[in-house]
Amino acid sequence: MKNERILIVDDEAAIREMIAIALDLAGFECIEAEDALQAHHLVVDERPALILLDWMLPGMTGIELARRLKRDENTSEIPIIMLTARGEEDNKIQGLDAGADDYITKPFSTRELISRIKAVLRRSSALNQEKAIEVEGLKLDPVSHRITAHDKPVEMGPTEYRLLAFFMSHPERAYTRTQMLDQVWGGNVYVEDRTIDVHIRRLRKALEPFGFERFIQTVRGTGYRFSTQVEDRAEAP
């Protein structure tokens, strides 16, 4: 994990310098951008392992840049940690829905930031194996970041993609919402149970036209599982 390149995007030079020093001491390489346009060019040219992205930027906001990167299949797999002074729940959910993998609220300690970066990189590595996964015609290709059902493309958001990648990598096992938070969002991210349920419904809706929504099963009193054993299927909430 050391020597991986991190892109720091913040319009305040002092904050970029503080973060860069901490990352350098932790063994990471750093590149910096002061606005979204410069950041986008660096993402395309340098392919960083992770992006630290400030919410408030001149011109295009960090949220808008996150959405743009996640819509592009060439950059959608790069994990993003949002840096924000906003602590309200709705803003946190907005950042996660835009495709951010985690967030940290200013002011923050560099020790906490390094811990978050390492955790996100571990999860990203686990969810981005190069080997495609296929189950009864439902195929997830982590290299191209594409999902197909009987060779037809399946469209879904970045959070739903991460959920499906986790499920397909761990079939036939029930997971609590807490376990899913830790594996998909990160245990230090504040997401309510109802938010997880919303993403599960979105995932099922994306798979429904192809008949694969039955694989995402509710386990009463526990959480969810990915299973092809339809006879064990519980009713969805």
Q: Residue 119 domain-assigned?
A: yes
Angle at 101 between CA 34 and CA 71, to 5 degrees: 75
Q: In CATH, what number is assigned to the domain containing residue 222?
A: 1.10.10.10
Burial 98-133, CB ≥16 within 10 A → b, else e? bbbbbbbbeeeeeeebbebbbbbbebbeebeeeeeb
Tokens of 21: 């020093």
Angle at 95 between CA 73 and CA 114, to 5 degrees: 90
* Same domain (yes/no): 56, 27: yes
| Cβ-contact 172, 227 below 8 angstroms | yes
Upstream peptide bond of 107 is cis (omega within 30 degrees of 0): yes
pTM of the complete model: 0.59
Query: Which pLDDT score, from 0 to 100, does residue 105 have?
Result: 84
What distances in angstroms separate CA 148 from CA 136, 153, 164, one per listed residue? 11, 4, 12
* pLDDT digit string, tens, across residues 103-133: 888 888 989 899 889 888 877 765 556 678 8
* Same domain (yes/no): 96, 45: yes
* Same domain (yes/no): 212, 109: no
* Same domain (yes/no): 36, 94: yes
* Same domain (yes/no): 80, 184: no
Considering only residues 33 and 88, tell me which one the structure prediction assigns the higher pLDDT. 33
Considering only residues 79 and 186, tell me which one the structure prediction assigns the higher pLDDT. 79
* Same domain (yes/no): 139, 56: no
Query: Which pLDDT score, from 0 to 100, does residue 224 have?
Result: 94
Query: Which pLDDT score, from 0 to 100, does residue 143 have?
Result: 77
* Residue in 167, 192, 166 with CA at minimum distance from that of residue 177: 192
* Same domain (yes/no): 63, 174: no
Given 71, 97, 127, the domain boundary residue is 127
Backbone angles phi, psi at 84, to 5 degrees: -145, 145
* Same domain (yes/no): 16, 121: yes
Given 127, 160, 186, the domain boundary residue is 127
Considering only residues 116 and 30, tell me which one the structure prediction assigns the higher pLDDT. 30
* Same domain (yes/no): 107, 199: no
* Same domain (yes/no): 107, 166: no
Q: What is the DSSP string of 87-101?
A: --HHHHHHHHHTT-S
CA pair distance 220, 237, nearest whole angstrom? 9
Number of domains in the chain: 2
Domain holding 116, by residue range, is: 5-127
* Same domain (yes/no): 16, 30: yes
* Same domain (yes/no): 121, 137: no
Segment 51-66 shows an average pLDDT of 92
CA pair distance 73, 122, nearest whole angstrom? 21
| Cβ-contact 135, 126 below 8 angstroms | no
Given 82, 112, 127, the domain boundary residue is 127
Q: Residue 237 domain-assigned?
A: no
Q: What is the DSSP string of 208-231?
A: GGGT-GGGEEEETTTEEEE-S-GG
SS3 content of the chain, % helix, strand, coil (to 5): 45, 20, 35
